[in-house]
Amino acid sequence: MQLTQFKIIEAAKEGRRKIHPVFAVILAIVFLTLGEFFMLFMLFLPKAETLLMKAIYSDIEMILTFGGAVFFVFLWVRFVEKRSISSIGFWRNQWIRKYLRGALLGFVFISIPVMIL
């Protein structure tokens, strides 16, 4: 199997700056840590009084953390590696179908342990 068969590998090669694999792991940790700063927006929300509000705030915290990490990855790819965002897998052709397929697969894989237990 040749590497040219994978579109995402070819797209990653178009970057101007190559990143060492060890540095990539360090960058992932840095991006996740920086993503935590997006949780500072939680300071502007009113105090959670009910159990439902606490659950909603927990969900918002997770979304902000992940969203912050994704934001920094997009900035890195666009301005440091000088690649397009589509080079990390965001292609326009049939994107709704691919998104729904991924969401369904994720739901199935998350549901398997719940069904077993």
Residue 39 resides in a domain: yes
Q: Is the pLDDT of residue 12 over 80?
A: no
What's the pLDDT tens digit per position in 18-37? Answer: 778 899 899 999 999 998 88
Residue 40 resides in a domain: yes
Residue 45 resides in a domain: yes
Residue 108 resides in a domain: no
Query: What per-residue confidence (pLDDT) applies to 30?
Result: 93
CA distance 25 to 9: 18
Residue 3 resides in a domain: no
Residue 88 resides in a domain: no
CA distance 93 to 2: 23
Q: Is the pLDDT of residue 7 over 80?
A: no
Domain housing 41? 17-82
Q: Based on the structure, what is the number of domains in the chain? A: 1
Residues 30 and 80: beta-carbon distance below 8 Å: no
What's the pLDDT tens digit per position in 54-88? Answer: 999 899 999 999 999 999 999 998 898 888 888 88
Ramachandran angles phi, psi of 116, nearest 5°: -70, -40
Residue 98 resides in a domain: no
Residue 93 resides in a domain: no
